[in-house]
Structure formats: C-alpha cells, structure tokens
C-alpha cells in the first residue's frame, strides 16, 4: 500500500488528542499520538556523518535508504493510506527540512491552536488533579523552594512557559511555519472544533485533498491509550470525552492576575 504522510503540530492542550480521535473514525486515515519519528530522523541524520564508513565515502546510498525508508517502516503496522504523524516539533527549520526530504516533500501540517491562557489553565487543572491523586507537584521541576515564597500556580505557569521548554519549542515551531510555510499549514482553533465540528473537519479534508467524511461527535473513542502517569508524570493528560464538549476550564478561576498579565498576549506576534 502506498501511504501519504502529513503532520500535526500546534500548542499542547489545544485539542490535538480529540482531533486525532475524530480523524481515526475515518477508515482512510490514521492520526497518531505524539510520536518519536521526528526525533529518530533527527538523531540518525545528524549522526551519520560521524560514522567511519560514511567519512570514507562508502555506502552513502545505503545510509540514504535508511532515512528515506524510516517513515514507512515506522508505520508498517498501520494499513491506512493516509497517516498523520503528531509532533509539535515538525515546524522547526531542521525538522521541516527532514520532513520535506525523508517523509513527504508535499507534506502538510495541521496546527491545533487555543488561546494561551486557556492552555495554561488546562495544564494547571491537570497538574492539580495529579497532585491530589499522587502528591507529586507537576511543573515545578526541582524548584520546590519557589513554593515557600510564591503562589504555586504562578511558579508552575512560569515553568510551563520557560525558555526552551515544551511550550517555547511549540511556539517556535508554529512561528516558523506561519512565517515561512503558510501555504502548507491549516490552523484548527479549539473553539471552531467545538462550535462547528463538521465544518472544521471538512476544512481539514479539503486542505489535505481528501474526500469528506461524516463524523460522529457523540461517540468519540481514542484508539491509542496513553499511560500518562508513566509517560508524562500526570494523570488524565490525554483523556478523551465520549461527546465533544467544552472543558470546564476557566482561566480567570485558575490563573492569577500576574499570569494573565504576563502571558495573555504571548501569541499576538503570530498575527493570526
């Protein structure tokens, strides 16, 4: 089977998990959870020049065949003709080059987006649920001293938004795509998915050049079950509700004025 590969990126906590679950209702599409395909390509492609045989100008086509074949091998157990690989790093310059070279030169990216304060509030809500269940304190790293003189949520928000952290890398990836590859990007806002779900899905299919599919928004199931505690140190990070509905997450109830004022305009530079 010949497969066509596209990607999904965007902000964390912006609806990518439920969007993947919806896409997986379509018998022609497999939309993955967050994978390490991007990292595997990066590690191998950057390491190849250090190998003796490569430096000796031996078997260069063999190295290339491994890189070009990695994506098909990675998804060899999935028999759907359209694969959407999820990783928020696909939009960085180096990874975009790898996507174009080794995955699909005509690959497109679905970006899930959500107002940044809603994203932060969603992270805090899951962190608080995890703390109640396990006593661990997500998003404080080893900086527990901060809790002695600062509001815990403020410290968590600053860690989430820290330079070179998960959020910062996601924003870097988004910014590069919007600035340099806008024609390859389809932006899905969380509110649009909630308020106009079928129209939003139709827009995705039109963008990818696929036939439209009628989705069931009252019987949503995730086909990939995450062990969130083992993988990410939190509980319920990738839970999917059976029915498409707005989460009960109000930034004004979870975030302080400090966080709202500091980060409320963090994405304005993207000029969506």
Q: For 30-78, what is each residue's pLDDT tens digit?
A: 999 999 999 999 999 999 999 999 999 998 999 999 999 999 999 999 9
Q: What is the pTM of this model?
A: 0.93
Nearest in space to 156 (alpha carbons), one of 125, 135, 178:
125
Are the beta carbons of 6 and 99 closer than 8 angstroms? no
Question: What's the pLDDT at 229?
Answer: 82
Q: What local confidence, expressed as pLDDT, does residue 145 receive?
A: 66
What does DSSP assign to residue 158?
A: H
Residue 172 to residue 251: CA distance in whole angstroms: 23
Whether 146 shows a pLDDT value over 70: the answer reads no
Q: What is the mean pLDDT of residues 89-103?
A: 96
Q: Which pLDDT does position 162 carry in this prediction? A: 93
Structure confidence at residue 117 (pLDDT): 97
Q: In what order do the strands lie in the sheet with 4-10?
A: 29-34, 82-86, 4-10, 109-113, 185-189
234 vs 261, more confident: 261
- Please name every residue paired with 34 in a beta bridge, in sequence order, or none if there are none: 86
| Stretch among 148-157, 215-224, 262-271 having the lowest mean pLDDT | 148-157
> Per-residue pLDDT for 225 more than 90?
no
Is pLDDT above 80 for 210?
yes
Domain 4-270, what fold?
A: Rossmann fold (3.40.50)
* The pLDDT of residue 86: 98
For helices 197-208 and 16-23, the axis angle rounded to 10 degrees is 70
* pLDDT for residue 230: 87
Distance separating alpha carbons of residues 152 and 69, to the nearest angstrom = 47
Please count the residues of the chain: 272
CA-to-CA distance for 7 and 24, rounded, in angstroms? 14
pLDDT in tens, 12-41: 999 999 999 999 999 999 999 999 999 999
Average pLDDT, the chain: 93
């Amino acid at each position: 089977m010949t497969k066509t590969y596209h990607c999904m990126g965007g902000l964390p906590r912006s609806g990518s998990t439920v969007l993947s679950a919806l896409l997986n209702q379509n018998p022609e599409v497999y939309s993955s959870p967050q994978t390490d395909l991007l990292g595997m390509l990066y590690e191998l492609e950057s390491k190849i020049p250090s190998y003796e045989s490569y430096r000796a100008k031996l078997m260069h086509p063999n190295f290339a065949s491994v890189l070009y074949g990695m994506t098909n091998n990675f998804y060899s157990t999935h028999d759907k003709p359209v694969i959407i690989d999820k990783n928020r790093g696909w939009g960085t310059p180096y990874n975009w080059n790898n996507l174009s070279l080794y995955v699909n030169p005509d690959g497109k990216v679905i970006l899930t987006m959500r107002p940044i304060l809603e994203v932060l509030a969603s992270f805090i809500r899951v962190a608080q649920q995890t703390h109640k269940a396990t006593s661990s304190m997500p998003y404080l790293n080893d900086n527990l001293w901060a809790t002695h003189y600062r509001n815990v949520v403020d410290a968590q928000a600053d860690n989430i938004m820290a330079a070179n952290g998960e959020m910062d890398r996601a924003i870097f990836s988004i910014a590069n795509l919007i600035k340099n590859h806008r024609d390859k990007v389809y932006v899905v806002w969380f509110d649009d998915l909630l308020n106009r779900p079928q129209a939003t899905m139709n827009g995705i299919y039109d963008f990818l050049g696929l036939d439209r599919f009628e989705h069931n928004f009252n019987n949503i199931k995730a086909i990939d079950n995450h062990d969130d505690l083992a993988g990410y140190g939190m509980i319920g990070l990738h839970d999917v509700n059976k029915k498409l509905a707005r989460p009960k997450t109000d930034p004004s109830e979870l975030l302080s004025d400090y966080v709202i004022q500091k980060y409320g305009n963090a994405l304005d530079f993207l000029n969506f």
